[in-house]
Structure 1
């Protein structure tokens, strides 16, 4: 059980610009609720002096007020226009910082995966029945664990329309840096002008087809995905060592030589497949096997690609907002994915990545999305209450899967002055099949980084998925 000891509304330390801030079309695509995540710290593990959580929260509150001067949009509130567009009122109403303590020790929380119901207590609670313009856009809860180990958790809720994962992580890392007494470099300050993603000139007919915004394949014989939406999902944390990753890469790139020559199956390019391409392919194959799909069942993988470097000119690396290009693989049959070598699925993942590497494709995508003005519900990922199911909204589960890459996100750099977190992960179980691939420090400390897969999957299929995940390496 967790008891809330204090709730602090934190506003920017100095006067900040007021008024409406235009949110890009990319910001409009995501559900308007918050993304939950959790950081767990053990100061003793880092040979740091254990401090009173009250003192820590005081430092975090002061530095949060300071960082909000630079990230002042986060202290504002969202609202809806008559056309269903989200807009941001920079009114400095502030963010929430909660101080809490748990009656459970750090060890009693196990591996901190969100299957454990008590993990929810470590994440701030939001009442989504309230008007959207009453909801803070950022909430953090610092929870001290029972016992004398000095361990604590920082549960985060970050409003997705305000920024993608990279934007959120950079904000949190900057907040942590100020908390531990360091100063921010000019390069760490956010770039806030979202009009750089505003289509210029009159809207033109998209030059490319955009299946990433269209309905995904259904289970054969079905006319909607309601039945799949109703099935419960669970969570698994799957840790791949550097040796596991190397073995998968060796299998996928079997015929690609060191000098780039060779003829790997299904790979028309001499460039070896990347970790993301290979691990995504591995997840796709295991998912198809675990679901025992019909051989002629169409299936795809959907994921988002960071477009900061894929535009011409590129966006600033410190761009604060959503800069994600959705993409989807070509439609394949389950038999192709499960019986062909892993290089086959890897190539399909690469084809999806390559589409969004084309500036003209991304520009076409922006014009396509802009064409949905006043009809955002047709393509926006919705917020659904528990037990609410709709056939008219995007669903990314069986027979398909949605993947995410956190491989470029330095979440283990969030040091608030007592060492880096020993665990970072999602704060909830996704209601559809989803895999997130991230780097993690190797536990031995000698082999660089391993890979962790945060896997959300239907309860009925998870056991088989895990079996194939390890057997097929």
Structure 2
């Protein structure tokens, strides 16, 4: 449970269970659910409710809890608990144990949050904290924190377990929750049967082992220990529509058109600029190998496509590789082409090969993030400097979550300070701009901003 500060005080904590009896039993999870991020992913929404919602101090809280209880009837696995098996694998026990709902009061006003930057000293008190040293069967899959501010505004801090839902599925859940809160009905029923992602390869080829092993380390610091101990910080970098068009023109005119004739996408262009700017800011040698992790949703990249409403994980982290010197010296289109090449590998046969690869693993522990967090040590792969991961929310329906008192005034990622993690967010105002939420070691952040903006020409 979240800790309090002098400006944010926790008032109460509830367990919200499905409003009606639901199916009880063990839901097998796929390998896709059990690799990579299996911890909770934080997001936060800020609202200015209308006055009729503020007349009763319990009206908003009651609406959220009541609709949450209703939506958990349909999304009943989210009220369950994970259960460890052997060899780093786990199942999902559907047992209606419930989700955690926290209420907090703040003496702050929304205007004190510096454009809602995650670097605000109070930001972390608005989002629940999870104790991963607890037995996994004791940890809810969802945490909600409602914080009331002195100005009448509220925030909703959400944590959703990535082991049961990727970004697409998590947003499916929150949008249906909001629909019920507004008095509407479920629009798209979730599809829970994981057997549809038990894909078998028809080809004898296999994936490259290196794609799932230790990423390159910083030259001269092979164990990476020094890097893991450096303090990180988060910044939100704004990219205007004009700046985006400049980057698009630079990338597409500086490199031969991809084989399919399509110009580079927003993701490929901005991410390539982030990658080369980070190399410059970090002062990499020309012969420094660097990897960029790209998260690809493959729901519509397999035959047949996954069913509408498929609820679970259907994403694959693919690696774009380069030498830092090539990224920094060659035109922007080179970096974009390296990213395009990695993404285009993700087709039906490749997804099946990766599925086979993970099915054959005796132990999945080394592919999961939770173990390093529990140990809190320097063992295990380090994905920060000289590497990056850039996740795109550009095409996800992340905005417009209306529980009945209007859409949010701001939505963004929660606090997640891991060096090299970054996220692309579309403009909340639909004005053609976007934002890069990036976490870097503190000593490189100013240089990163300098290179990022100076190199947009």
> Match of 2:21?
15
Query: 1:382 is matched with which residue: 370, 373, 389?
Result: 370
Shift of 1:223: 2.6
* Helix, strand or coil at the partner of 1:3: strand
> Match of 1:313?
304
**Structure 2 unmatched ranges of 5 or more:** 1-6
Query: For residues 424 and 53 of structure 1, what CA distance do their matches in structure 2 show?
Result: 23
Query: For residues 184 and 154 of structure 2, what CA distance do their matches in structure 1 show?
Result: 21
> Match of 1:160?
162
How does 1:276-287 map onto structure 2 within 5 Å? 276-287=267-278
* Helix, strand or coil at the partner of 1:158: strand
How does 1:115-130 map onto structure 2 within 5 Å? 115-130=119-134
> Match of 2:3?
none
Shift of 1:184: 2.2
Q: Contact 1:234/1:429 (CA < 8 Å) preserved in 2? A: no
Query: 2:407 is matched with which residue: 405, 420, 426?
Result: 420
Query: 1:3 is matched with which residue: 9, 29, 40?
Result: 9
How does 1:246-257 map onto structure 2 within 5 Å? 246-254=245-253
Query: For residues 107 and 414 of structure 2, what CA distance do their matches in structure 1 show?
Result: 19
> Match of 2:194?
194
Does residue 1:146 correspond to 2:150, yes or no?
A: yes
Shift of 1:190: 0.8
C-alpha offsets along residues 101-133 of structure 1, whole Å, 9 cap, x if unaligned?
A: 101111122222222231111112333332111
Shift of 1:83: 2.5
Q: Contact 1:120/1:428 (CA < 8 Å) preserved in 2? A: yes
How high is the TM-score relative to the length of structure 2?
Answer: 0.93
C-alpha offsets along residues 113-162 of structure 1, whole Å, 9 cap, x if unaligned?
A: 22223111111233333211111110111101113xx2110001111101
Residue 184 and residue 387 in structure 1: after superposition, are their counterparts in 2 closer, same or farther (change >3 A)? closer
Query: For residues 203 and 344 of structure 2, what CA distance do their matches in structure 1 show?
Result: 23
Query: For residues 32 and 276 of structure 1, what CA distance do their matches in structure 2 show?
Result: 25
Q: Contact 1:381/1:394 (CA < 8 Å) preserved in 2? A: no
Shift of 1:53: 4.4
> Match of 2:361?
372
**Structure 1 unmatched ranges of 5 or more:** 256-263
> Match of 1:463?
446
Shift of 1:385: 3.9
More displaced, 296-305 or 421-430?
421-430
Shift of 1:205: 5.8
Residue 455 and residue 52 in structure 1: after superposition, are their counterparts in 2 closer, same or farther (change >3 A)? farther
Residue-pair matches, total: 450
> Match of 1:174?
176
> Match of 1:433?
420
* Helix, strand or coil at the partner of 1:59: helix
Q: Contact 2:44/2:412 (CA < 8 Å) preserved in 1? A: yes
Shift of 1:166: 1.4
Shift of 1:413: 2.1
Q: CA RMSD in A?
A: 2.0
